[in-house]
Amino acid sequence: MSTEGQIPNLEQPPGPGKIIKVLGGVAMLSGLLVVLTYQLTLPTIMENRRIAREKAVLSVIPGATSFIEFMLSEHEGLIRVKADGSTKVPEGMVDPVYAGYDNAGQFMGVALEAGAQGYQDVVRTLYGYSPPCECIVGMTVLESKETPGLGDKVETDPDFIANFKALEAKLSGDKKALANPIETVKHGTKKHPWQIDAISGSTVTSNAIGKGLNNSAQRLLPLLRYHLDEFEIEQ
Amino acid sequence: MAVDVNKPKPITLDTFTRGIWKENPVFVMLLGMCPVLAVTNSTMNALAMGLATMFVLVCSSTLVSLMRHLIPKQVRIATYIVIIATFVTIVDYLIQAISLELYKALGAFIQLIVVNCIILGRAEAYASKHRVTKAVVNAVGMGVGFAIGLLALGTVRELLGSGTLLGFSVFGSSFQPWAIMVLPPGGFFVLGSWLLLFSWLEERKTRKSEEAEIEGEVAHGA
């Protein structure tokens, strides 16, 4: 580029000042546009996320019409999440717990998150747990990148969804783990109430859901046991 | 694409339709194949991706054309990329605000519009050399052409792969969906079939015009 300047009749190369000015100007304009859009769309996006989560939570706790968000910390127990987002997140493992209530304010159950590696990526699910029945009463897929037409049947197949109407999740005698681990069995071989009947053709995804539920229930339900009375509160 | 910058040609219908037919980005230029194959598993996804790409294409072409005398050619690629990335980020937020489900379905392919070669190609080959109005008309044409390409794949794949169109059942419950069509191989099959159709049409046209020429010569000679 430096030789160009010496040849007559050719455009003079721009100086570094001009280049920096143009790049700086474009970057500033870009920043302005991005920040403007971000600020304008943020309330709508947050509202969309809230609605999506509300729908998911209420769909896994039968009878619930409203919910309160809690955090279950391994060191500090159950903490109610403040609506304005000012809650301090404690150190260590923290899991979200959504407590569902019916119209009369009666505690109906909790929704917990689970996840396990599927065929493509982690399949994240939300499941409802009913303490009086000691069973899982609902399940919905939060995030899945499973093969369309095969792995995504776990979200639509009515027979598979029926597995989660009353899936047993009883704690063992010492209350430290589940009495019977939740497991996924081959399609058509379900014998016990803690087994999930897999979808043939979506075995990997069915297994991932079972594994995720088992891991989450084994870890969270023994912890949650100490805090069940804390859910029975005035809303 | 030799265009004389000093003598601006008027905007013709060709400026617009070029991108739809003669230089269709999907079927003729074979550009931007990554979203074409990846997000055309349903009509809705194809439509949303087409509109998102068109938005970025038109906005970035406008800005590049407006700044064409300001941008030193030494840093033009850097500038174009910043401009394109800005509009992609905007479209990303807009789609999240419109529908989270749609956003999830399109996944990483919205962000990947940044590296869609149609957009950088238009900025470099057209918008940086033409007046704003002309650049916009051309960009809209290209955008429509790209959207048509996506829809051509999306509708066929959804019809065969799920038996639905925009989510509504078309063939009834007795239809056994052809699941492979909504999977990645289906994208290649359908794209291949469309390309076959278009090259057959093209070949037929060339043959006809050749025949007409020969006939004309014969007639002239006699």
Q: What is the mean pLDDT of residues A36-48?
A: 94
The C-alpha atoms of residue A23 and residue A31 are separated, in whole angstroms, by: 12
Q: What is the mean pLDDT of residues A206-231?
A: 90
Does pLDDT of B11 surpass 90?
A: no
What pLDDT is stored for residue B29 in this prediction?
87
The number of C-beta contacts closer than 8 angstroms across A and B is 68
Token couple for B55: 């938005």
The residues on A that touch B, with CB distances below 8 Å, are 1, 13-14, 18-19, 22-23, 26-27, 29-30, 33-34, 37-38, 41, 44-45, 48-49, 52, 143, 145, 147-150
A148 closest CB neighbour out of B82, B93, B183: B183
Does pLDDT of B17 surpass 70?
A: yes
The C-alpha atoms of residue B42 and residue A156 are separated, in whole angstroms, by: 17
The C-alpha atoms of residue B30 and residue B47 are separated, in whole angstroms, by: 18
Does pLDDT of A24 surpass 90?
A: yes
Q: Are strands A107-117 and A77-80 parallel, antiparallel or unpaired?
A: unpaired
Does pLDDT of B132 surpass 90?
A: yes
DSSP string computed for A96-145: EEEEEE-TT--EEEEEEEEEEE-SSSEEEEEEEEETTTTEEEEEEEEE--
Is residue B53 very low, low, confident or very high in pLDDT (cuts 50, 70, 90)? Answer: very high
Record: contact B162-A149, CB cut-off 8 A: yes
| B164-214 pLDDT per residue, tens | 888 888 887 788 888 888 888 999 999 999 999 988 988 998 999 888 888
Tell me the pLDDT of chain B averaged across its residues.
Answer: 88
Token couple for B8: 């601006």
What pLDDT is stored for residue A29 in this prediction?
94
| A153-168 pLDDT per residue, tens | 888 888 898 899 889 8
> Does this complex have an ipTM over 0.90?
no
A37 closest CB neighbour out of B75, B93, B104: B93
Does pLDDT of B217 surpass 90?
A: no
B74 closest CB neighbour out of A1, A27, A143: A1
Q: What is the mean pLDDT of residues A27-53?
A: 93
The C-alpha atoms of residue A231 and residue A220 are separated, in whole angstroms, by: 15
Give B162 to chain A, closest Cα distance, Å.
8
Token couple for B102: 């749609």
Does pLDDT of B4 surpass 60?
A: no
Q: Are strands A135-143 and A107-117 parallel, antiparallel or unpaired?
A: unpaired
Going by C-alpha positions, the residue among B109, B132, B120 that lies closest to residue B8 is B132
What pLDDT is stored for residue A149 in this prediction?
66
What pLDDT is stored for residue A5 in this prediction?
47
B74 closest CB neighbour out of A14, A145, A150: A14
| A85-134 pLDDT per residue, tens | 777 777 778 888 999 999 888 899 999 999 999 887 888 999 999 988 88
* Phi, psi for B146 (deg, rounded to 5): -65, -45
Beta-carbon-side half-sphere exposure of residue B166 (alpha carbons within 13 Å): 3
Residues of B in contact with A5 (CB under 8 A): none
What pLDDT is stored for residue A10 in this prediction?
64
Residue with tokens 């000679």: B221
> SS3 of A190, please?
coil
Residues of B in contact with A145 (CB under 8 A): 107
DSSP designation for A80: E
Token couple for B165: 């169109």
Lowest-confidence pick of A6-10, A55-59, B41-45, B57-61: A6-10
Does pLDDT of A58 surpass 90?
A: yes
Tell me the pLDDT of chain A averaged across its residues.
Answer: 86
Residues of A in contact with B105 (CB under 8 A): none
What pLDDT is stored for residue B13 in this prediction?
84
Does pLDDT of A36 surpass 80?
A: yes
Q: What are the residue boundaries of the structural domains of chain A, listed by start?
A: 61-231
Q: Are A218 and A95 in contact (CB under 8 A)?
A: no
What pLDDT is stored for residue A6 in this prediction?
54
Q: Are A12 and A5 in contact (CB under 8 A)?
A: yes
**Which has more confidence, A37 or B14?**
A37
Residues of B in contact with A49 (CB under 8 A): 100
Using the Cβ of B96 and the Cβ atoms of chain A, whether some distance falls under 8 Å is answered with: yes
What pLDDT is stored for residue A13 in this prediction?
82
Does pLDDT of A137 surpass 90?
A: yes
Record: contact A38-B93, CB cut-off 8 A: yes
Does pLDDT of A15 surpass 70?
A: yes
